[in-house]
Amino acid sequence: MMGPMRPVIVAGNWKMQTTPADAGELAATIARRTNEPDVVRVLCPPFVCLAAVRDALAADPAGRGVEVGAQNVHHELAGAYTGEISAPMLVGLATWAIVGHSERRRDAGETDILINQKVRRARDARLHVILCVGEQLAEREAGLAEAVVRAQVQGCLDGVEPPSIGDQGSIYHRAPWLTIAYEPVWAIGTGRTARGADAAAMAGTIRRTLGDLGFANRGETTPVLYGGSVTSATIDEFLAEPSIDGALVGGASLQPDEMAGIVARAALTARGRGAQPAR
């Protein structure tokens, strides 16, 4: 029996790279090189580049199928939070937001409780949420990988209600409101290598946890992305796993040739699965 059809998503996280002067041209170039309507494509530039990327994509016919995401949101709507950006401020600039990235957990000390608040703010602003989860090397070596990721999913999503049915049909027409990116933090900069089977096993843990939290279809309609330093040379192994629905791409997302290769492979996966973007 065929499983649920989930969209195939490639999201590029540009991190603290590019400026408003060059981000728009880069975004338009990537859009032209990755013109694959079967793949949901998202570019996440720095906050200061959101408008430039949005405008460049809107001005280029090839760019109109590419969506814009933010790399973070604040957990409050407004207030005395110097240098922070709230979810309502992103409306009109972005339609997606990354929440809980491993670098935010590491560098800003973000906890699951705080990330839960960010998920809620992004959801209330009707942004697509890419929630990042993943275990450290010591946790994996101690045999705690599944427990750690399960606890992260539970903590970040506990009590979070999905958007209304009306919003699901109108705002979230290309992908569900929630996507989860599995980051094998233990394999980033450690000399260790994550395999497709590792990501697939964790995708299973993620969806079982979503089911326990009461998500529709026991989490089987929630896309799970691989987020571990993926390149055009490594993406094939992960997309060959039926439970992996794309990638959250880091450094390679700044290189048009790399993005072209990743999205081309993702398009083959989407067509092979016969999946249409979720509605």
Q: The tokens of 142 are what? A: 């101690």
Q: Which residues are known to be catalytic? A: 101, 183
**pLDDT value at position 163?**
78
Taking residue 111's Cβ as centre, other Cβ atoms within 10 Å add up to 14
pLDDT band per the 50, 70, 90 thresholds, residue 275: low
**pLDDT tens column, 85-98:** 999 999 999 999 99
Exposed, middle or buried, 106 (CB in 10 Å: 0-12/13-18/19+)? exposed
**pLDDT tens column, 188-217:** 877 788 999 999 999 999 999 999 999 988
Q: Measured between alpha carbons, how far is 96 from 53 in angstroms, rounded to an integer?
A: 13
**pLDDT tens column, 38-62:** 999 999 999 999 999 999 999 999 9
For the chain, the domains span 9-15+41-74+84-269
Domain 9-15+41-74+84-269 has CATH 3.40.50.2000: no
Between helix 112-124 and helix 145-157 the angle, nearest 10°, is 40
Q: Does the pLDDT value for residue 239 go beyond 80?
A: yes
Rounded to a whole number, what is the distance in angstroms from the first to the last CA of the chain? 21
